[in-house]
Amino acid sequence: MRETTNLRYAMRPIRSIVRLAVVAVVLAGLSLPAAASGPTRPVVSNYTAVLVSGTNLTFYFNRNLSWTNAAHAWMLTYTIPSPPQYGSNVANSFTIYCNSQGGYDWGVDYQSPTNFNGVDSFTWCAADKTLTSAMATCTFIITTNPAESLPVPANQSAIVPKNTPFNIYPNYSGGVGFTCQPVLSTSNTAHGTVTANGAYFTYVPKTNYQGADSFMWAMAYSNDTTPVLTTAVAKCSILVTNSIGNTDSGGFANNG
């Protein structure tokens, strides 16, 4: 009897180990729900501009940034792997423009060639502290006819401080020979309000909101012989964040 009792006690640790092994196998076989996913690297947009031969245009990198991690919004490096073939200044002239909010627009000046009809372009990308976007293309349609050039709106983006009204200037090219006026194509945004104020839009995010928002807009144009017409619609993507503050941490790199 004593030997039987001792055997029973000796088996208890083995049974415990078996139970733990069974639990481990069951847990290993569970299919846990996947975490919500989204963009993990900056997203940049293609851009097209129409300009007269011999004139220059400023391309703003940050206005063509569709998405970035809010924590890295002002820690971006912009790179031009392939500079334009015909125009000049892009490869070696980066400029920081102070905007109306006291922050910075990161721009590059493009000088179109004289007596040139055709298309020029360059590619660019954006990188945060760890990841780099796919390539985007900035395309210039150049004409030697300066008489009239219809306005061409382009999709753009804006990074807005939380709880702060913010002025957003429309991203468009052309408009030579016309009176141009930005107009809203949507009455409001999902997470704020937007109004047209002459040459720009004013966006006000909802109190304490952080995240993505957007609105649609177009350019109204006219002249002495053309009644008021409206261009195709463009989109302004907005990122509302409380991470703005280190506005000097962006930068440029040139591989050309």
pLDDT tens-digit series, residues 144-177: 876 677 888 988 888 888 999 998 989 888 888 8
The whole model's pTM is what? 0.55
What's the pLDDT at 52?
83
The residue extents of the domains of the chain are 43-248
pLDDT of the residue at 91: 52
- Judge whether 48 and 136 are in contact, CB under 8 Å: no
Which residue type sits at 212? A
Task: State in words which class domain 43-248 has.
Answer: mainly beta
Compute the distance between CA of residue 18 and CA of residue 57 in angstroms, rounded to an integer: 74
Has residue 214 got a pLDDT over 90?
yes
Residue 120 has pLDDT above 80, yes or no: yes
Q: How many helices (H) and strands (E) does the chain have?
A: 1, 20
Interatomic CA distance for residues 156 and 44, integer angstroms: 9
Whole-number pLDDT of residue 194: 95
* Helix, strand, coil share (%) of the chain residues, nearest 5: 15, 45, 45
What is the reported pLDDT for 233?
92
Q: Are strands 234-241 and 65-67 parallel, antiparallel or unpaired?
A: unpaired
pLDDT cut 70: percent of the chain above it: 67
The reported pLDDT for the residue numbered 165 is 92
What average pLDDT does the structure give for the chain? Answer: 74
